[in-house]
Structure 1
Amino acid sequence: MPDLRFTLVTPERQLMSEDVYMVVVPGSEGEFGVLAGHAPFMTTLRDGNLSVIRKEGAAPETIRVSGGFAEVGDNGLTILAESAEA
């Protein structure tokens, strides 16, 4: 399966922009996982943890996010967070 382009941006800077296997996002309506080829949509985020899985079968890396938006589109997943910390 092709990789998912994942970009994480805060008002201060771009924290990440790379190809990963999967990201689990704390959406305002509940957590959701995104793999390459996911259907396009946009949602708000709740405060919580992003789980970034770089390679299939790898342990997830956790990034704490507060507020913002998630957009899944043809170019991958973009998170625009109010704040984020590893």
Structure 2
Amino acid sequence: MGNKKASFPIESTELEGMGTVSSGKLVSHAIFGNGEIKEIAKWETGEITVNVVFDKCGSKWLVPEFAKLKEQQPTHKSKQKVSIFKRLFGRNDT
């Protein structure tokens, strides 16, 4: 059996292309999709990992250098209200 390595939580870390990030930051991964950073840990070896809870596949611990996380792009869930005139006639008579 291998030796277990100890880790301790840290407040923030640098992610390539994103600058300094901390828990609560919304990120995106090419395979896992959108998620939120919940924890950041530094290991005895000096390696840093981030725990990201993804919308579709749950929690994953990732090494930032390999994960290629990106800042999550805002979703356009809420559309502007359009008047009935614009929808029917292509103009807005309000």
Q: Under a length normalisation based on structure 2, what TM-score does the superposition of the two structures give?
A: 0.29
Q: Under a length normalisation based on structure 1, what TM-score does the superposition of the two structures give?
A: 0.31
Structure having the higher helix fraction is: 2
CA radius of gyration, larger in: 2
Structure having the higher strand fraction is: 1
